[in-house]
Amino acid sequence: MGSMPKALLLENIHPLAAESLRAHGFEVETRKGALSERELIDALEGVDVLGVRSKTTVTRAVIDARPTLTAIGCFCIGTNQVDLNHAAKNGIAVFNAPYSNTRSVVELVICDIICLMRRIPAHTHHMKHGVWDKSASGSHEVRGKTLGIIGYGNIGSQLSVLAEALGMSVIFYDLEEKLALGNARRCETLHELLNEADAVTIHVDGRKSNTGFFGEKQFSQMKQNAIFINASRGFVVDLDALKEHLDSGHLSGAAIDVFQNEPKKTGDPFSTPLADEDNMILTPHIGGSTLEAQENIAQFVSQRLEDYWFKASTMLSVNLPQITTGPCKGAARIAHLHANLPGVLAKVNQVLGEQDINISAQALGTEGEIGYVVTDVTKCPDEVTIDALDAITGTIRTRVIES
C-alpha cells in the first residue's frame, strides 16, 4: 500500500483505538474536540482513515474536497453525521458500533426511571437549599408500573428485558415488525402507548424523518403524572413542549440526555430552559459514555477499519456491499468498487486475463447502486493493469493490497 497510512481520530475517541491502529501500522493523529466543515477539510489533508463520534459532520463538501479518504469510522451508534450515499459513491467505506454501548444506555435509562419515580432530583434540589422534605408524596416504586418504549431496536429491546426484571410491565411501539421479548406487548399505535405508559422513553434512530417526531401532540396524549425520557437524538423531541407539560403539572418529571444544539467539546458553555424544572435529570449526552462502552467501541470500530484497509473486508459497513474476507490466497488482493452495472465482473476478469494474472479467489457483492468485487491474484498487478481496471466503466475506486 506504499507509505504508512494516516488516521485522524477526533472527539476524544478512547485511546485503545489509536493504540490498535498504530499497532497495525497506521500513523495516528488525535484531537479532543469536533471540527467544523472547513476545519475538517483542512485537517484531512493526506489522511486515509477518519474517526469521529457524533458531533463532527462529514458532508458532501468534505468528501469532495478529500477524494483520497478511504474509510470513516463512527465511534458511536449512529451514522447520520456522515453523508453515507455520497461516501459510497466516492469509494469511502463507513463503519460504526451499533451494539457496543447498548448496555450503557440501557442502564442510564433504568437509573433515570427509578430516580424520577422516587423524585430524587427534586429531593436533592431541596436538600441542597436547606429544605427537609421527608414525604412519600409523588414517590412510587417502579414495580407494577408500565414502561412505554418507542423504538424496539437494540437498546429498546434490551431495556425491555431489564425493566421486566424490575417488575415493570412493558409495552412498545415500532414502525417495523419486531419480536417482543419476555412479556412485552406491542402497541398498534403510538397513541395507545402514550395513553397507557407511566414512563415513556424514546429510542429511535437518527434518520431525518424523525426530526420533531415527539412534540405537543404526543405530550398531550401522555398519562397524568407520567415521566418522559429521551436518550436517543436531540432533534427528535420538542423541549419547549416538554417544558410546558412539566410546568402545567401534567408530567411529573423528565430526563434528557440529548439536545438539538450541543457544544462541540467538553467545557464549552451550555444552557437550557429545562434547568429550573423541579424533577428533572439533565445529562450531557453520556448515554454511551462509560469506560466499558468506549473501550468496546474503540476496539470494535478500529478492527473494522483495519480489516477494510488491510483485508478489503466490508463486514458490517453501513454503506457498501457486505464481503467478509480472510487471509489473502495469492500475492495480492485487488478490491474493485464500482457502480452496480451489468458485466463489471466479467470486465475485471478480462483485464486480469489479458495481463496473464491468475485468480486464486474471488468474491462479489452488490447493494443498491454499488458493486464490490475482491479478487486474490497470483502476482501483483502493475500500473498498466491498475489503469485498465480504473478504466472500466462505472469504476469508483481500485485498491491493491499486497500480501
> pLDDT, tens digit, for every residue of 155-208?
999 999 999 999 999 999 999 999 999 999 999 999 999 999 999 999 998 888
CA gap 402, 310 in Å, rounded: 9
Catalytic residues: 233, 262, 285
Q: 328 pLDDT exceeds 70? A: yes
This prediction has a pTM of 0.82
User: Which of 54 and 346 is assigned the larger pLDDT?
Assistant: 346
pLDDT at residue 153 in the model: 94
Cell triple for 389: 481496471
Average pLDDT over residues 325-330: 94
Q: 1 pLDDT exceeds 60? A: no
Strand runs (DSSP E) across 244-378, as ranges? 253-256, 280-282, 332-339, 359-367, 370-377
Long-range contacts, 348-351 (Cβ 8 Å, 24+) = 348/373, 348/375, 348/389, 348/392, 351/385, 351/388, 351/389, 351/392
CA gap 270, 256 in Å, rounded: 14
> pLDDT, tens digit, for every residue of 290-320?
999 999 999 999 999 999 999 999 999 999 9
pLDDT at residue 2 in the model: 52
Question: What domains are there in the chain, each with its CATH number?
Answer: 1-100+290-320 (3.40.50.720), 102-282 (3.40.50.720), 321-403 (3.30.70.260)
Average pLDDT over residues 235-246: 97
